[in-house]
Amino acid sequence: MKLFLSGFGAKSYRLLKQYGLFEHLFPLSAAAFALPPYAYAEDMLVRGLVNTDERIAADKPVTPTFLFAVLLWSALLRELNERQAGGRPRIWRCSCRLATPCCGRSSRAWRSRGASPFPCVNC
């Protein structure tokens, strides 16, 4: 998240994609970006990063929650659509399944304590 909240988020994203690192940090989002129904979400992510960079440059507040939302939007939609085929999806389960692995990759504090920021790890 520090890369995206540094004021150079859009540039950091382009470099992560260029060097093949984005798919290791956010594998579910990268996989969803490759599918036609969810490809628009990559443009949404870039716009969100540009907007965040502009807010930082203007000394306005920013929040990591917004970035997690745009980073995981396509993966959440994909998960919801896949679960819907088997019955009624529960958005909280889908979002928990997506966020738990990402937070494990992006938060050393939680990992070092052996805890998860989400109480529903076993969804």
Which parts of the chain have pLDDT scores under 50?
A: 105-111, 113, 115-123
Q: Are 118 and 103 in contact (CB under 8 A)?
A: yes
Whole-number Cα distances in Å, 44 to 20, 70, 81: 20, 7, 19
* pTM for the model: 0.69
With CA atoms as reference, report the closest residue to 39 among 68, 12, 77, 10.
Answer: 77
Rounded (10°) angle between helices 64-84 and 40-57: 170
Under 8 Å CB-to-CB from 18, ≥6 apart: which residues?
Answer: none
What was the pLDDT predicted at 1? 80
Tell me which long-range contacts 36-41 makes (C-beta under 8 A, separation of at least 24): 37/77, 37/78, 37/81, 38/74, 38/77, 38/78, 41/70, 41/73, 41/74, 41/77
Q: What sections of the chain are H helices per DSSP?
A: 9-18, 22-25, 27-33, 40-57, 64-84, 91-106, 108-113
